Amino acid sequence: MLAELVAARHLLWLLSWRDVTVRYRQSFLGTGWAVVRPLTTMVILTYVFGMALGVSERIDMPYPLFAVTGMVPWMFFHAMLLGLSTNLVRNSVLVTKVYFSRLALAQSGMASPMVDLAVSMLVVVGVMAWYGAGSLQGVLIAAAAMGTLTITVTALGVALSALLTWYRDMRQALPFVLQAWMFLSPVLYPIDPYGESLRAWSVWLNPVAGSIMAFRSGIAGEPVDWALWGSATAVSVVGLAVGLWVFSLLEEKMADVV
Amino acid sequence: MTEVRIEAEGLGKRHRLGSMMTWGRWAQMLTGKRFERESFWALRDVTFDVRAGEVMGIVGHNGAGKSTLLKLLSGVSRPTEGRAIVRGKVASLLEVGAGFHPELTARENIFLAAAILGRKAWETSRRLDDIVQWADAERMLDTPAKRLSTGMRSRLAFSVACHLAPEIVVVDEVLAVGDQAFQRRCCQEMRRMVDEGRAVLFVSHNLGIVESLCDRAMWLERGELVRIGGCAEVVGEYRAAQRQSAAVRDLSTAQRGGEPGVETLRLLRRGEVCDADGSTVHELPWGEPAMVRLTVGRDEDAPNEPLHELTVVVSIDTADQQRVVTVASPPDQVLAVGVGRSAIASVKLDAMRLAPGAYTVAAAVYRGHEKLDEVPIAAEFEVIGAGAADARVTGMGEAKLAIDADWSFESQADTQASSPAARRAA
């Protein structure tokens, strides 16, 4: 299966390129959306969470910086997971008619969120510079944290994409699972991984939390919690192996059931 | 001895019937109820081989397992039993267009379709001119696919597939789209492809094309291989069997036309095509009279609404769904059907003026302008020609319908005399 994916890298590239170009065709703002979205959410979040709910008193950085370093990775995760998991079903015509690496087809759904992330990073770096925080080194750490998040999302998305060809329920479940997940992650407010509560524990098992916190530390120029990041990476890598295994199990009959 | 490209041994595929496991069924199983899903063999014990430089035709009725076989060979689905050794890459000719994205331009789609066939960008660039030229799409290259005509899209898809085809090509009813000129060009192109040493599997309901294109043929029936051998023999036998199985069609469960979801009255019960003697036939000789006979009936428990003054409309369509002719019963001859009764509507078509080929009969029942029932395929038949011996048939070319024509030829003294002015002067 993996050898097949390598052989199909040219196709993966073309399919990814197709997704990216098609997305911004006949659109006035084009990639500008990747700038507008995080900026507006940042403003809204700053008002609701930072000012009205008083989260800004519990953190030691400006809330807009906190919000943008939470929302940009989260939006990336969200878009990647949806793109990756629904790509096989959306292209079911291809799955049932032509044979080629299905893993490549599923993964081509990851391209446009990646482009969006790259553009959104401009906003992140802009906000970072505005507050005079961070450094080039910090940006590199943040980028590496997004690498971990990419592994996390691949692990989950690959398994989900195969499961979706069998059961469409996943599509019903996904939005609300993602919503719950966001509230369990330090996106809008901080979660202390060394606290007493159950939520502190969940942070260690939640690779999204580890990646977001590493991303945030890098951008804000704060010391990185390597242990937490390491745990996130380990969970993701194990998850990736499981995800690929699930995919290979379901791939065989995919064309018959999709 | 040429290379064997496909070797299939005892190939079989079992499909499960019914829906997949649901929560309710899991719950049932937990309470100890055994739950077994019905299954059927879409294909069973099929053994054959295909060599390089050969076209293998596959004939059979709908549901005979033709498409299943192609899916197994192209690797889209896996066989339940047996095995298929395929030496080389397989491309499906029809489905290349499936990857066409409406927002991408023709050029971008060509590259994408070629990549799905496993071609690298440089290989596609090298053949781009040929591909575009064959499809006649030079001026359309930078137009989004959504603005191309259906014909143009299928031409492009076919062209990409033909020019960049790998060693083995499967063609599933590709020629059902497009006009006859397009079909002829496709056939030529496929012949060229085969002459270059490719192996082609060709599925079609159009037996004429199968005969002219294929070297060998196999005949599938209910998933089983009935016959495999030289194309002419297999197609001949298949034709003979079809002729024998000519039967009255039961329309009570047939698919209805009209708006989806709108229940019709299901008045049409049976449909058949008869010859001059009134016996049900499948094949009609060219130029002979024929009759379409329909049984129209109402259930015992139908609402007691009077149904009289009914008009019956019968149309004849070609195999590629082009309407050739429509006849409606005249206003002074109306049909009436009482509750729990039935009636037979027959229409005699004086002489079959249709060109040799396969046709379907569509039937509809109207009350005034209100369509009460419609069946798109109420009967099927084939017009057989006297062959090349009949000059009238050969002269028809691509025409589907012949009309009465009186010819006259007059010889005249000189060319000048043929102009009206010259005649007046004389």
**Alpha-carbon distance values, B209 to A59, A230, B226, B258, B355 (Å):** 76, 65, 20, 32, 15
Q: What's residue B167's pLDDT? A: 86
Residue B390: pLDDT over 60: no
How far B212 CA lies from chain A's nearest CA (Å)? Answer: 27
Gap between the Cα atoms of B355 and A178, Å rounded? 63
Per-residue pLDDT tens digits for A164-213: 888 877 778 888 899 999 998 999 888 888 887 777 788 888 999 999 99
- A96 to chain B, any CB pair closer than 8 A? The answer is yes
How far A51 CA lies from chain B's nearest CA (Å)? Answer: 44
Q: What's residue B281's pLDDT? A: 80
Instruction: Determine whether the interchain pair B104/A21 forms a contact, defined as Cβ–Cβ distance below 8 Å.
Output: yes
Residues of B whose CB is below 8 A from A11: 115-116, 118
Residue of chain A whose Cα is closest to the Cα of B77: A255
Instruction: Determine whether the interchain pair A99/B90 forms a contact, defined as Cβ–Cβ distance below 8 Å.
Output: yes
Q: What's residue A258's pLDDT? A: 67
Question: B244, exposed or middle or buried, with CB in 10 Å at 0-12, 13-18, 19+?
Answer: exposed
DSSP, collapsed to helix, strand or coil, labels residue B354 as: strand
Q: Copy the structure tokens of residue B83.
A: 């095995």
Q: What's residue B260's pLDDT? A: 58
Q: What's residue A229's pLDDT? A: 94
Cross-chain CB nearest to B76 (options A18, A99, A167)? A99
Q: Which residue, among B354, B283, B345, has the nearest Cα to B323 in the 3D structure? A: B354
Q: What's residue B388's pLDDT? A: 44
Instruction: At B312, give phi and psi (nearest 5°).
Output: -110, 135
Q: Which residue, among B75, B12, B71, B10, has the nearest Cα to A252 in the 3D structure? A: B75
Gap between the Cα atoms of B270 and A25, Å rounded? 53
Q: Copy the structure tokens of residue B315.
A: 């149309």
Instruction: Determine whether the interchain pair A99/B121 forms a contact, defined as Cβ–Cβ distance below 8 Å.
Output: no
Q: What's residue B96's pLDDT? A: 59
Q: What's residue B389's pLDDT? A: 46
How far A48 CA lies from chain B's nearest CA (Å)? Answer: 39
Q: What's residue B178's pLDDT? A: 58
Does the model's ipTM exceed the 0.95 cut? no
Position A33 confidence tier, pLDDT thresholds 50, 70, 90: confident
Per-residue pLDDT tens digits for B84-142: 998 888 887 766 566 678 888 889 888 888 888 888 888 889 999 999 998 888 888 88
Q: What's residue A155's pLDDT? A: 95
Contact assessment for residue A178 and residue A78, using Cβ atoms and an 8 Å cutoff: yes
**Alpha-carbon distance values, B69 to A123, A167, B57, B81, B209 (Å):** 54, 26, 12, 12, 20
Q: Which single residue is written with the structure tokens 């009238």? A: B392
Average pLDDT, chain B: 80
Determine what percent of chain B is predicted with pLDDT higher than 90: 10
Residues 122-181 (A) with a CB less than 8 A from some CB of B:
166-167
Residues of B whose CB is below 8 A from A257: 20
Q: Copy the structure tokens of residue B326.
A: 């429509």
Per-residue pLDDT tens digits for B180-238: 677 778 888 888 888 888 899 988 877 878 888 899 999 998 888 999 999 999 988 88
Per-residue pLDDT tens digits for B43-57: 999 999 999 989 999
Position A74 confidence tier, pLDDT thresholds 50, 70, 90: very high
Average pLDDT, chain A: 88
Interface test with B, best of A99, A163, A249, A258 (most B CBs within 10 A): A99
Q: What's residue B262's pLDDT? A: 59
Among A45-49, A140-144, B106-110, B414-418, the minimum mean pLDDT is found in B414-418
Cross-chain CB nearest to B104 (options A22, A99, A167)? A22
Q: Which residue, among B404, B377, B240, B391, has the nearest Cα to B318 in the 3D structure? A: B377
Q: Which single residue is written with the structure tokens 């004389």? A: B426
Position B155 confidence tier, pLDDT thresholds 50, 70, 90: confident
Cross-chain CB nearest to B99 (options A21, A94, A256)? A94
Per-residue pLDDT tens digits for B10-52: 899 988 765 566 667 667 666 766 656 667 888 999 999 999 9
Residue B286: pLDDT over 70: yes
Mean pLDDT over B397-420 rounds to 72
Mean pLDDT over A242-247 rounds to 94
Q: Copy the structure tokens of residue A118.
A: 């790259």
Residue of chain B whose Cα is closest to the Cα of A105: B116
Q: Copy the structure tokens of residue A95.
A: 């799955």
Instruction: At B201, give phi and psi (nearest 5°).
Output: -110, 125
The terminus-to-terminus CA distance of chain B in angstroms comes to 75
Gap between the Cα atoms of A53 and B356, Å rounded? 81
Q: What's residue B372's pLDDT? A: 85
- A99 to chain B, any CB pair closer than 8 A? The answer is yes
Instruction: Determine whether the interchain pair B92/A96 forms a contact, defined as Cβ–Cβ distance below 8 Å.
Output: no
Question: A49: how many CB neighbours lie within 10 A of its CB?
Answer: 19
- Chains A, B: CB contacts within 8 A come to 65
- CB pairs under 8 A, 24+ apart, for B33-38? none
Q: What's residue A142's pLDDT? A: 93
Instruction: Determine whether the interchain pair A99/B99 forms a contact, defined as Cβ–Cβ distance below 8 Å.
Output: no
Q: What's residue B97's pLDDT? A: 64
Mean pLDDT over B265-275 rounds to 85
Cross-chain CB nearest to B116 (options A25, A98, A167)? A98
Cross-chain CB nearest to B98 (options A11, A25, A97)? A97
- B125 to chain A, any CB pair closer than 8 A? The answer is no
Instruction: Determine whether the interchain pair B104/A18 forms a contact, defined as Cβ–Cβ distance below 8 Å.
Output: yes
Residue B342: pLDDT over 70: yes
Residue A97: pLDDT over 80: no
Position A231 confidence tier, pLDDT thresholds 50, 70, 90: very high
Instruction: Determine whether the interchain pair A94/B104 forms a contact, defined as Cβ–Cβ distance below 8 Å.
Output: no
Contact assessment for residue B400 and residue B320, using Cβ atoms and an 8 Å cutoff: no
Eight-state DSSP code of residue B414: -
Q: What's residue B421's pLDDT? A: 54
Q: Copy the structure tokens of residue B296.
A: 């129209």
Residue A70: pLDDT over 90: yes
Mean pLDDT over A28-36 rounds to 81
How far B161 CA lies from chain A's nearest CA (Å)? Answer: 12
**Alpha-carbon distance values, B175 to A76, B48, B303, B383 (Å):** 45, 25, 46, 20
Q: Which residue has the higher pLDDT, B208 or B264?
A: B208
Instruction: Determine whether the interchain pair A167/B20 forms a contact, defined as Cβ–Cβ distance below 8 Å.
Output: yes
Per-residue pLDDT tens digits for B301-314: 777 677 888 899 99
